């Protein structure tokens, strides 16, 4: 490992002397526009600000909890400037869709962030607290229609685990699947569903405008700028969030593999990336290279066990 000595552009306090800027990253986005594309855009903007990237292209491959995108990406071999954004939604989605794909057949580059979930109701809802909602679900698990993202994704996992904490059978919930946060919001505003779960920030503009109300967030501590109590502070011992990271193609050369990691390592301490974390209410969770691979080797069986326990 090269000893870091300064910033590539002078903005950071250190850098790798042998790092090579990337010319063009071809991103595979394994979902419709939403959290994955927002993450790719944030990485792209931060790399450009640090002088480590010239251009980028994004191809959207939604479907089957990320399996469609991953299958397309895994057709790419040895390409040094290509990446797919992955995360807990994909690891859960692969299980719930009974996919035979192995995420670790791609090359782990880095886990870069953690995003927490929010539960909301329309402003007209009778529910003022999380306990009121959970009490109704205890009495009748399918009492309300709960809008969330793909089957087996982080929204589904979070509401299922929260139900378990309250003594509710998660398989009995009336969980209505949508393709992402925008569709969840539309369903709530049209009264097609009564409760919504997605990334906490997705709902912030609608809460600010008085159209929705937070019942809780899944973080350990309150989130700056989000007027919501944590699940834990309301008596439900659950902290749960969606990590996201970067995978490169299989068969990457050692030199290209190490350079990609160095580029992302420099990015993650840059002012531009820190601004993205703050803006999007993300936690900085950076784990790279072999450590990220080890994380995935432990995480995937754990998620499979969670999914099995939730009956997904």
pLDDT in tens, 137-156: 999 999 999 999 888 889 99
- The number of folded domains in the chain is 2
* Average predicted confidence (pLDDT) for the chain: 93
Give yes or no for residue 11 having a pLDDT over 70: no
> What CATH number is given to the structural domain containing 176?
3.40.190.10
pLDDT at 292: 98
pLDDT digits (tens, 9 = 90+) for 31-86: 888 889 999 999 999 999 999 999 999 999 998 889 999 999 999 999 999 999 99
Question: Which of 15-19, 226-230, 278-282 is the least confident region?
Answer: 15-19
Identify the band that residue 277 occupies on the pLDDT scale cut at 50, 70 and 90.
Answer: very high
Portion of the chain with pLDDT greater than 90, in percent: 86
Comparing 18 with 284, which gets the higher pLDDT? 284
pLDDT digits (tens, 9 = 90+) for 15-40: 688 899 999 999 999 988 888 999 99
What gap in Å lies between CA 263 and CA 277, rounded to an integer?
18
Helical axes 35-49 vs 254-268, angle rounded to 10°: 90
Tell which of 209, 234, 259 closes a domain.
Answer: 234
Note whether 246 and 108 are same-domain residues.
yes
Note whether 187 and 253 are same-domain residues.
no
pLDDT at 179: 77
pLDDT at 17: 80
pLDDT at 280: 94
Tell which of 214, 234, 254 closes a domain.
Answer: 234
Q: How many CB atoms lie within 10 A of CB 75?
A: 8
Residues of 167-185 as b/e, b for ≥16 C-beta within 10 angstroms? ebebeebbbbebebbebbb
pLDDT digits (tens, 9 = 90+) for 105-123: 999 999 999 999 999 999 9
- Residue 299 included in any domain: yes
Note whether 53 and 126 are same-domain residues.
no
pLDDT at 1: 40
pLDDT at 181: 85
Q: What's the domain range around 208? A: 116-234
- Residue 221 included in any domain: yes
Nearest to 291 by CA among 112, 26, 53, 136: 112
For residues 287-310, average pLDDT:
95
Give yes or no for residue 278 having a pLDDT over 70: yes
Note whether 108 and 250 are same-domain residues.
yes
Residue 297 structure tokens? 């080797």
For residues 274-297, average pLDDT:
96
139, with CB counted inside 10 A (0-12, 13-18, 19+), is exposed
- Residue 279 included in any domain: yes
- Residue 15 included in any domain: no
Note whether 122 and 225 are same-domain residues.
yes
Q: Is the dihedral of CA 203, 209, 215, 220 positive or negative?
A: positive
What gap in Å lies between CA 138 and CA 156, rounded to an integer?
18
Give yes or no for residue 14 having a pLDDT over 60: no
Phi and psi for 49 in degrees, rounded to 5?
-65, -30
Tell which of 234, 266, 290 closes a domain.
Answer: 234
Note whether 226 and 171 are same-domain residues.
yes
pLDDT at 9: 52
pLDDT at 5: 38
The answer to whether the beta carbons of residues 312 and 152 sit under 8 Å apart is: yes
Residues ≥6 apart with Cβ < 8 Å to 93 = 64, 65, 66, 67, 99, 150, 151, 152, 153
Note whether 252 and 227 are same-domain residues.
no
Give yes or no for residue 6 having a pLDDT over 50: no
pLDDT at 134: 98
Query: Over 154-172, what HEC string results?
Result: HHHHHHHHHHHHCCCCHHH
């Amino acid at each position: 490992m090269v000893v870091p000595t300064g910033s590539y552009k002078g903005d950071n306090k250190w850098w790798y002397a042998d790092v090579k800027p990337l010319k063009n990253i071809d991103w595979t986005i394994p979902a419709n526009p939403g959290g994955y594309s927002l993450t790719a855009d944030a990485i792209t903007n931060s790399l450009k600000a640090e002088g480590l990237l010239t251009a980028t292209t994004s191809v959207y491959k939604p479907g089957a909890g990320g399996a469609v995108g991953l299958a397309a990406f895994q057709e790419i071999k040895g390409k040094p400037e290509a990446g797919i954004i992955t995360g807990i939604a994909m690891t859960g989605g692969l299980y719930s869709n009974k996919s035979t794909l192995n995420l670790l057949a791609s090359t782990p580059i880095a886990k870069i962030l953690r995003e927490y979930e929010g539960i909301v109701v329309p402003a007209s809802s009778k529910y003022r607290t999380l306990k009121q909602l959970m009490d109704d679900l205890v009495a009748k698990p399918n009492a309300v229609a709960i809008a969330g993202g793909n089957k087996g994704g982080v929204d589904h996992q979070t509401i299922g685990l929260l139900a378990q904490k309250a003594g509710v059978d998660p398989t009995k919930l009336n969980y209505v699947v949508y393709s992402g946060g925008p569709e969840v919001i539309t369903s709530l505003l049209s009264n097609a569903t009564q409760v919504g779960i997605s990334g906490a920030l997705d709902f912030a503009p609608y809460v600010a405008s008085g159209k929705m109300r937070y019942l809780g967030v899944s973080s350990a501590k309150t989130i700056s700028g989000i007027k919501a109590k944590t699940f834990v502070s309301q008596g439900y011992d659950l902290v749960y969030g969606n990590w996201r990271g970067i995978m490169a193609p299989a068969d990457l050369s050692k030199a290209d593999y190490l350079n990609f990691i160095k580029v992302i390592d420099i990015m993650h301490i840059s002012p531009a990336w820190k601004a993205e974390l703050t803006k999007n209410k993300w936690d900085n969770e950076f784990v790279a290279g072999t450590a990220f691979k080890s994380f995935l080797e432990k995480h995937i069986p754990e998620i499979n066990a969670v999914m099995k326990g939730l009956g997904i």
